Amino acid sequence: MANKGTIGVTTENIFPVIKKFLYSDHEIFLRELVANAVDADQKMKALAASGEFKGELGELDVRIVLDEDKKTLKVIDNGLGMTEEEVDKYINQIAFSSAGEFLEKYKDQIGNIIGHFGLGFYSAFMVSKKVTIDTLSWKEGAKAVKWSCDGSPEYEMGESSKTDRGTEITLYIDDEDAEFATKGRIQTLLDKYCKFMPVPVIFGKEQEWKDGKYVDTDKDNVINKTEPLWTRKPADLKEEDYMNFYRALYPMQDEPLFHIHLNVDYPFHLTGILYFPKIKDRMELTRNKIQLYCNQMFVTDSVENIVPDFLTLLHGVIDSPDIPLNVSRSYLQSDANVKKISGYITRKVADRLEEIFKNEREALESKWDNLKLFIEYGMLSDEKFCDRAMKFCLLKNTEGKYFSIDDYKKAIEGEQTDKDKKLVFLYATDAVAQYPFVEAARKKGYDVLLLDCELDAHFVNLLETKIGDCRFARVDSDSVDNLIPKEEKIRPELSEQEKSDLDTVFRSVLPSENNYYVTAENLGENASPILITQSEFMRRYRDMSALGGGLNFYGEMPASYNITVNMQNPLILKIMGAKAEAFAGKELADPVAELPKDATEDQKKEAQAKRDEAVNARNAELKEFASGNEILKQVTDLALLANGMLKGKGLSDFIARSEQVVAEAYLK
Ligand code: ADP
Ligand code: MG
> Residue 346, SS3?
helix
Summarize pLDDT for 166-214 with one digit per residue, the tens. Answer: 999 999 999 999 999 999 999 999 999 999 999 999 999 999 999 999 9
Which of 61, 90, 96, 123 gets mutated to test ligand 1 (max ligand atoms within 8 A of its CB)? 90
Q: Mean pLDDT across the stretch 237-242?
A: 96
- The confidence score (pLDDT) of residue 215 equals 92
Distance CA 477, CA 539 (A): 8
Which helix H or strand E contains 406, and what residues bound it? Answer: helix 405-413
Q: What is the fold of 393-488?
A: Rossmann fold (3.40.50)
- The confidence score (pLDDT) of residue 16 equals 59
- Contact (CB, 8 A) for 531 and 639: yes
Closest C-alpha residue for ligand 1 atom 16: 90
| 98 vs 25 pLDDT, higher one | 25
Least confident stretch, 22-26, 358-362, 551-555, 588-592 = 551-555
- The confidence score (pLDDT) of residue 543 equals 79
Distance CA 487, CA 274 (A): 52
Centroid of ligand 1 to alpha carbon of 136 (angstroms): 14
- The confidence score (pLDDT) of residue 69 equals 96
pLDDT of 381 > 80? The answer is yes
| 330 vs 49 pLDDT, higher one | 49
Ligand 1 atom closest to the Cα of residue 80 is 25
Centroid of ligand 1 to alpha carbon of 130 (angstroms): 18
- The confidence score (pLDDT) of residue 556 equals 67
Distance CA 191, CA 249 (A): 11
Summarize pLDDT for 511-529 with one digit per residue, the tens. Answer: 888 889 999 999 888 889 9
Centroid of ligand 2 to alpha carbon of 168 (angstroms): 15
- The confidence score (pLDDT) of residue 118 equals 45
The full DSSP string for 501-560 is HHHHHHHTTS-TTSEEEEEEE---TTS-SEEEE--HHHHHHHHHHHH-SS-HHHHHSPPE
State if residue 374 touches ligand 1 by the CB under 6 angstroms criterion. Answer: no
State if residue 121 touches ligand 1 by the CB under 6 angstroms criterion. Answer: yes
User: Of 65, 84, 82, which is closest to residue 73 (Cα–Cα)?
Assistant: 65
Summarize pLDDT for 254-288 with one digit per residue, the tens. Answer: 899 999 999 998 888 999 999 998 887 666 667 76
State if residue 90 touches ligand 1 by the CB under 6 angstroms criterion. Answer: yes
The environment of the single-atom ion ligand 2, i.e. residues with CB closer than 5 A, is 36, 120
- Contact (CB, 8 A) for 428 and 434: yes
Query: Could you tell me the strand order of the sheet in which 258-264 lies?
Result: 258-264, 270-276, 315-319, 289-294, 297-300
Which of 9, 18, 36, 93 gets mutated to test ligand 1 (max ligand atoms within 8 A of its CB)? 36
Domain 229-368 = CATH 3.40.50.2300:
no
Closest C-alpha residue for ligand 1 atom 17: 90
DSSP structural state of residue 204: E
Please calculate the CA angle 371-372-377 and round it to the nearest 5 degrees.
Answer: 110
Longest dimension (CA), the chain: 127
Percent of the chain residues past pLDDT 90, beyond the cut: 60
Ligand closest to the CA atom of residue 80: 1
3-state helix vs strand vs coil in the chain, percent to 5: 45, 20, 35
C-alpha radius of gyration, the chain, whole number: 38
pLDDT of 106 > 60? The answer is no
Please calculate the CA angle 387-448-517 and round it to the nearest 5 degrees.
Answer: 105
Domain locations along the chain: 3-222, 229-368, 393-488, 490-668
Where b means 16+ CB within 10 Å and e means fewer, 257-285 reads bbbbbbebeeebebbbbbbbbbbeeeeee
- Contact (CB, 8 A) for 625 and 612: no
Burial class (CB in 10 A: 0-12, 13-18, 19+), 485: middle
- The confidence score (pLDDT) of residue 592 equals 82
Centroid of ligand 2 to alpha carbon of 199 (angstroms): 15
Going through 355-503 in order, the beta strands assigned E by DSSP cover 394-396, 402-404, 423-428, 448-450, 470-474
Centroid of ligand 1 to alpha carbon of 37 (angstroms): 8
Distance CA 596, CA 536 (A): 47
> Residue 450, SS3?
strand
Ligand 1 atom closest to the Cα of residue 94 is 10
Closest C-alpha residue for ligand 1 atom 13: 90
- Contact (CB, 8 A) for 47 and 53: yes
Mean pLDDT of the chain: 87
SS (H, E, C) 575-623: HHHHHHHHCCCCCCCCCCCCCCCCCCHHHHHHHHHHHHHHHHHHHHHHH
Instruction: State the architecture of 490-668 in CATH terms.
Output: Up-down Bundle (1.20)
- Give Cα separations from 106 to 98, 102, 118, 289 (angstroms): 12, 6, 14, 29
Q: What is the fold of 3-222?
A: Heat Shock Protein 90 (3.30.565)
pLDDT of 553 > 80? The answer is no
- The single-letter code of the amino acid at 418 is D
Centroid of ligand 1 to alpha carbon of 206 (angstroms): 29
- The confidence score (pLDDT) of residue 330 equals 60
Distance CA 321, CA 271 (A): 10
DSSP structural state of residue 647: -
Closest C-alpha residue for ligand 1 atom 18: 36
- Contact (CB, 8 A) for 399 and 450: no
